[in-house]
């Protein structure tokens, strides 16, 4: 499970007022975002036309993490704070532990899709405090009492907001971000008081972990942990009245074709590709688009709430640029990696520059 330092939970519980909660809600925004690059990397490395069910599942979780980021940002706005997104240190330097995550726990990297990646990393990120042991699945790990889970962190936030009452919600309600084209109104709605805040935080926790008695979220879909488990076990999670738990991984197969995955080097860095080469250009265009996505989200939360739709629309462009990068080997034939980094300076160079090549294998020549 994602082990959170209990001092963070204690900090939420000890908060004397709404302003004391700002840094904790900002950490929640950073945590929700930090899972997006690993999930998108796995999704983008699935070649188009292959592994369609797996691609849909991983993309769906990534989009819901963007929903959770938006919910947390709305909460911070409602409490009179300002989300901080367009900044270099907002983006983790992968491989790394995630925000709020203690050092002994799971290390997250940007890597091509594989069942092992889902089992060893993604499921550990999303694991509830007490995962349901379902037939066809695997046994749970014992919880470490020294650490809390992200679910406990959100529960502490709900309790503190209830204690502080509606007077804590001093933010301008017109700055709340909603967009029915991306998220239905029962998932993304304005946060204006204790009731709406508690409902929103419960939704975030349930979509990631399910509940203590069911693997399904409130929409009736498997929570992230159990959705990833379907990919590992290669079977859909279905209602099963023949077992005490009521569910088992005995549904339709979820096939995986390992040949339908693009290779990608570990720990991708722009600097790994020679300046002026096609691979460097492709990698920089991808990083620039990701930077523009973060900038668009910042503008959205800074008072332009209608900007969520075009901001998230950049994810389509990002996928096309990812496919271009992954299909562009460098001069030595090595695949190009996907570098998630906040690099606003790239915007001045990627739009008007064409890589120059000379000789076989696309050997770069400097201008």
Report which of residues 255 and 1 the model is more confident about.
Answer: 255
Q: What is the pLDDT of residues 123-148, one digit of tens each?
A: 988 887 677 777 665 544 444 455 67
pLDDT of residue 365: 33
Q: Is 311 exposed, middle or buried, given 0-12, 13-18 or 19+ CB atoms closer than 10 A?
A: buried
pLDDT of residue 244: 81
Pull the structure tokens for residue 171.
Answer: 């933010």
Burial profile 336-365: b = 16 or more Cβ within 10 angstroms, e = fewer: bbbbbbbbeebeeebeeeebeeeeeebebe
Arithmetic mean of pLDDT, 341-356: 66
pLDDT of residue 105: 72
pLDDT of residue 151: 82
Report which of residues 211 and 128 the model is more confident about.
Answer: 128
Q: What is the pLDDT of residues 178-206, one digit of tens each?
A: 999 999 999 999 999 999 999 999 988 88
Report which of residues 351 and 289 the model is more confident about.
Answer: 289
Mean pLDDT, the chain, whole residue set: 87
Arithmetic mean of pLDDT, 72-83: 98
H-helix or E-strand spanning residue 291: helix 278-301
Could you say which DSSP state residue 343 is in? -
H-helix or E-strand spanning residue 153: helix 150-164
Arithmetic mean of pLDDT, 205-221: 74
Arithmetic mean of pLDDT, 283-298: 97
Arithmetic mean of pLDDT, 6-12: 92
Name the pLDDT band for 30 (thresholds 50, 70, 90): very high
Distance from C-alpha of 182 to C-alpha of 358, rounded to nearest angstrom: 45
Instruction: Report domain 4-260's class.
Output: mainly alpha
pLDDT of residue 205: 83
Return the domain boundaries, the chain: 4-260, 270-327
Name the pLDDT band for 29 (thresholds 50, 70, 90): very high
Percent of residues, the chain, with pLDDT higher than 90: 66
Q: Which of 69-73, 102-106, 310-314 has the highest mean pLDDT?
A: 69-73
pLDDT of residue 76: 99
Would you say residue 78 has pLDDT above 90? Answer: yes
Report whether the peptide linkage leading into residue 95 is cis, meaning its omega lies within 30 degrees of zero: yes
Q: How far is CA 52 from the centre of its chain?
A: 20
How many residues does the structure list for the chain? 367
């Amino acid at each position: 499970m994602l082990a959170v330092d209990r001092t963070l939970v204690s900090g939420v519980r000890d908060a004397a007022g709404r302003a004391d909660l700002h840094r904790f809600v900002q950490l929640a925004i950073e945590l929700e975002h930090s899972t997006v690059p690993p999930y998108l990397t796995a999704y983008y490395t699935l070649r188009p036309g292959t592994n369609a069910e797996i691609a849909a599942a991983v993309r769906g979780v990534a989009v819901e993490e963007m929903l959770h980021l938006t919910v947390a940002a709305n909460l911070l706005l409602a409490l009179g704070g300002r989300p901080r997104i367009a900044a270099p240190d907002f983006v983790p330097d992968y491989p790394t532990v995630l925000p709020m995550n203690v050092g002994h726990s799971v290390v997250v990297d940007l890597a091509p899709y594989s069942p092992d990646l889902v089992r060893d990393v993604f499921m550990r990120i999303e694991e509830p405090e007490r995962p349901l042991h379902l037939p066809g699945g695997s046994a749970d790990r014992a919880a470490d009492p020294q650490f809390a889970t992200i679910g406990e962190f959100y529960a502490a936030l709900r309790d503190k907001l209830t204690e502080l009452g509606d007077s804590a919600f001093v933010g301008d309600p017109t700055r709340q971000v909603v967009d029915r084209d991306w998220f239905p109104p029962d998932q993304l709605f304005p946060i204006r008081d204790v009731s709406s805040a508690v409902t929103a935080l419960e939704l975030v926790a349930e979509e990631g972990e399910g509940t203590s008695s069911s693997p399904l979220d409130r929409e009736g879909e498997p929570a992230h942990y159990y959705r990833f488990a379907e990919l590992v076990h290669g079977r859909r999670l279905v209602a099963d009245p023949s077992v005490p738990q009521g569910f088992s991984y005995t549904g339709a197969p979820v096939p995986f074709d390992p040949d339908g995955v693009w290779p990608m080097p570990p720990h991708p860095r722009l600097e790994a590709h020679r300046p002026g080469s096609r691979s460097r250009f492709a990698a920089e265009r991808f990083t620039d688009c990701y930077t523009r996505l973060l900038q668009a989200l910042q503008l959205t939360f800074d008072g332009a709430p209608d900007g969520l739709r075009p901001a998230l629309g950049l994810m389509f462009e990002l996928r096309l640029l990812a496919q271009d990068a992954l299909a562009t080997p460098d001069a030595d034939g090595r695949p190009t990696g996907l570098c998630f980094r906040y690099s606003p300076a790239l915007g001045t160079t990627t739009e008007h520059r064409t890589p120059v090549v000379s000789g076989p294998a696309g050997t770069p020549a400097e201008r």
